[in-house]
Amino acid sequence: MSITPHRRARRTAAFLAAALLTTLLPAGTATAAAARTSRLQQDADALRDAGVTGVSVRLASPDGLHTVRSGVGDLRTGQPVPPDGYMRIGSTTKTFVATVLLQLAGEGRLSLTDTVDTWLPGVVRGHGNDGRRITLRHLLRHTSGVPDYVKDVVPEPGAAGYRHHRWTVHTPEQRVALALRHPAAFDPGARWEYSNTNYVLAGMVIKAVTGHSWEQEVRDRIVRPLRLTHTRTPGNRPFLPRPHAHNYQQFEPAGPMTDTTIAYLPFDGDADGSMISTAADTGRFFSALVRGKLLAPAQLAEMQRTVDVPDDHGDPPGTRAGLGLLWTPLSCGGGYWGHGGSGFGYVVGPAVTPDGRTTVTVSAHSRPGDNDTAARQIRGITDLTDHALCAARDDGAR
């Protein structure tokens, strides 16, 4: 096969670029970087082989930036996952909201020991739920006992329910009212149990304290100061900006993949999980957060004061919960901070080392219809994160 001059020129340019990079980097660095990218690619491919339609990984560490992709971003066209495309970050939104509340605490405008009733009088009442006994700390740490409203808005049956209800808009007050139709899960502070309603209430408290929506406070206090130019608080606007990968949900085992790129507004439109970002912006946020760029030392310490997460929650053993943050242990010792997010057709897993110097964000753009496959894919995301952060630490120690 003959090689055209244009192709020969491109190959020569690629060779020279690689040679120059190897020359400029310290001895062994290029080899280590290549090995890390190769391992990232293997782990991303393993997620694809486990059934994820499209995967994207971004690792930023002191020795540079590493990005890999696997699978496709569009099942119809076969187009690849776009590099650093927009993505829904789901419950990662909670970390932004918790940061704002902690900033307000640092400013003396509220206290984490304030009850919900202090700021939202009479809102949490009924079936054993009592806002006079629930503190803001309980909300942010998921120890309030307030039931999760999400169980009341999950579509039935399956894909048809998703399409029928995806445009339905609920106010924060309506979401809370749905939750309060159920008995309190436990007495405030008695144990830990994840409830999206906690952060709907937290968003309502932000508005009661500041007079502004939680979205505006997040933009003014976090997004603009950090120049997160690709981070959005879309409210009830259901479309992703371009470029983006498509999200796909399998609503029943062995069933077809349904394109769920359009938000499911019954639970994609509030302070518990509505934000849109990119892997680059998400990593920049978590790095700034743990390095003390957003919170004073006392508030950051409060955020990172943790309680046990029950093993049956699905997180890795040893996971602990702070205020809008989760601590996950590493197989090589130590651990990392982060807060994942998920919704119909997507899972995002951001993580940051305690010193803020290394971040990794994994985005998976489909979810399966059976629990065993879902658990295997989540383990794949956790394993990828573990491998990436342990390798980055090992290289930094050399």
Tens-of-pLDDT digits for all 398 residues of the chain? 333 434 433 443 333 333 333 334 444 455 656 666 799 999 999 999 999 999 999 999 999 999 999 999 999 999 999 999 999 999 999 999 999 999 999 999 999 999 999 999 999 999 999 999 999 999 999 999 999 999 999 988 889 999 999 999 999 999 999 999 999 999 999 999 999 999 999 999 999 999 999 999 999 999 999 999 999 999 999 999 999 999 999 999 999 999 999 999 999 999 999 999 999 999 999 999 999 999 999 999 999 999 999 988 888 999 999 999 999 999 999 999 999 999 999 999 999 999 999 999 999 999 999 999 999 999 999 999 999 999 998 775 55
User: Catalytic site residue 277?
Assistant: no
**Per-residue pLDDT at 340:** 97
Q: Are 91 and 341 in contact (CB under 8 A)?
A: yes
**Under CATH, domain 32-397 is a member of which superfamily?**
DD-peptidase/beta-lactamase superfamily (3.40.710.10)
**Per-residue pLDDT at 394:** 73
**Per-residue pLDDT at 65:** 96
Whole-structure pTM value:
0.91
Q: Which of 56, 91, 277, 342 is catalytic?
A: 91
366-367/346-352 β-pairing: unpaired
